[in-house]
């Protein structure tokens, strides 16, 4: 975690602050619970399935609204 600097202490140098920043990043990455390959594959399958469902819904709406617009344009002319 980042260290608190009081008004009496001087600030560390630029290079030291960058080093502490990356040390903090690596420390936090060690705490991350990474998914297993099976979890990742399951999540990917769910995502692709939902993507296909949403694409089908958008396709149907596009066809229906396109048909309605064409009917209105044909009726108007």
Summarised one tens digit per residue, pLDDT across range 49-74 is 999 999 999 999 999 999 999 999 99
Q: Is residue 23 over pLDDT 70?
A: yes
- In order, the DSSP letters of the chain are -PPP--SSSPPPPHHHHHHHHHHHHHHHHHH--PPPHHHHHHHHHHHHHHHHHHHHHHHHHHHHHHHHHHHHHHHH-
| pTM of the predicted protein model | 0.57
């Amino acid at each position: 975690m980042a260290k608190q600097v009081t008004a009496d202490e001087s600030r560390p140098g630029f290079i030291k602050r960058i080093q502490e920043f990356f040390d903090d990043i690596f420390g936090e990455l060690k705490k991350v619970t990474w998914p297993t390959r099976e979890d990742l594959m399951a999540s990917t399958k769910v995502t692709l399935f939902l993507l296909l469902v949403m694409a089908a819904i958008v396709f149907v709406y596009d066809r229906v609204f396109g048909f309605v617009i064409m009917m209105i344009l044909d009726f108007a002319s």
